[in-house]
Chains A and B, each alone.
Chain A
Amino acid sequence: MRIRFNLAALKQIKWNEYLTRFLLGGAITVITGLIAKHFGPVVGGLFLAFPAIFPSGATLIEKHEREKKRRAGIAHTMRGRSAAALDARGAALGTLALAAFGALIWQLLPLYNAVVIFTGALALWLALAILMWRIRKLLR
């Protein structure tokens, strides 16, 4: 299965949905910083993996799929829930790559340039996530 871009999907998203994500992302980052300040980096670090994108993304996918079916005259459908479950499967693979992202920063950040390490960690996250996704597709 090929990876592709569907820019038309952006038109489905309302401005308040963009705003909600921005506010949620900003709020979680501030709260994470405050937790680290009060309880230290060990506790604060747990929240660096807080699901800031996944819950709202899955909710939107479910809503859009449900609305698509409703416009087609189908009132009750499992499609939205199935699409959200599919999104969650992808996110599950992403969390494993996220753990590798954290491990790389933990081990190498004290030794090397921070920009190089963060760029490398992001590249590692993306490469691992794509690799696991491809392997999963091959095994199905």
Chain B
Amino acid sequence: MELVERFLLGGLIVSAFAVVGEVVRPKSFAGLFGAAPSVALATPTLTLFTEGKHYAALEARSMIAGAFAFLGYTLACVYFWGKGVFEPRQPPLPYSLSGGSLP
């Protein structure tokens, strides 16, 4: 049951931020929502109820390192897409985790 709740909440929050990112312009501003705290809102919210505040705070501390790794990923995309080295539809790791199902 907990996994179902996680799945639904995560899916809803990610979709909501993605929709906001689709409708706002200009494009560089819309890009901000690509790094919105979607999983970061869904996961600790549920963790709070099961594991408590200190556990969720520890997760948030690690998330800072994860955010810098994400920064490296986006900068690599800016460089490689800008230079035309590869196309956005050619799968970097997170995209490939979707099983290539993304159009």
A-side residues, CB < 8 A to B, are 1, 3-7, 9-10, 13-14, 16-18, 20-30, 32-33, 36, 41-63, 78, 80-99, 101-103, 105-107, 109-110, 114, 118, 121-122, 125, 129-130, 133, 136
**Alpha-carbon gap, A109 to B57, bound state (A):** 6
As a 0/1 sequence over residues 70 to 91 of chain B, the CB contacts with chain A under 8 angstroms (1 = contact) are 1101110110011010011100
Q: Is the CB of B45 within 8 A of A118?
A: yes
Q: Is the CB of B66 within 8 A of A33?
A: no
B-side residues, CB < 8 A to A, are 2-3, 6-15, 17-19, 21-48, 51, 53-71, 73-75, 77-78, 81-82, 84, 87-89, 92, 94-95, 97-98, 101-103
Given known A1-B26, A46-B66, A53-B18, contact A129–B32 (CB-CB < 8 A): yes
**Alpha-carbon gap, A87 to B33, bound state (A):** 9
Please name 8 further chain A to chain B contacts, defined as beta carbons within 8 Å, in addition to the given A48-B43, A86-B28, sorted by A numbering. A5-B24, A10-B22, A10-B23, A36-B47, A46-B65, A56-B95, A98-B36, A107-B57
Q: Is the CB of B40 within 8 A of A21?
A: no
Closest 7 CB pairs of A and B: A90-B31, A29-B10, A25-B14, A45-B62, A94-B35, A49-B66, A26-B11
Q: Is the CB of A63 within 8 A of B89?
A: yes
Q: Is the CB of A106 within 8 A of B24?
A: no
Point out the residues of chain A lying under 8 angstroms from B92, CB to CB.
55
Point out the residues of chain B lying under 8 angstroms from A30, CB to CB.
3, 6-7, 10
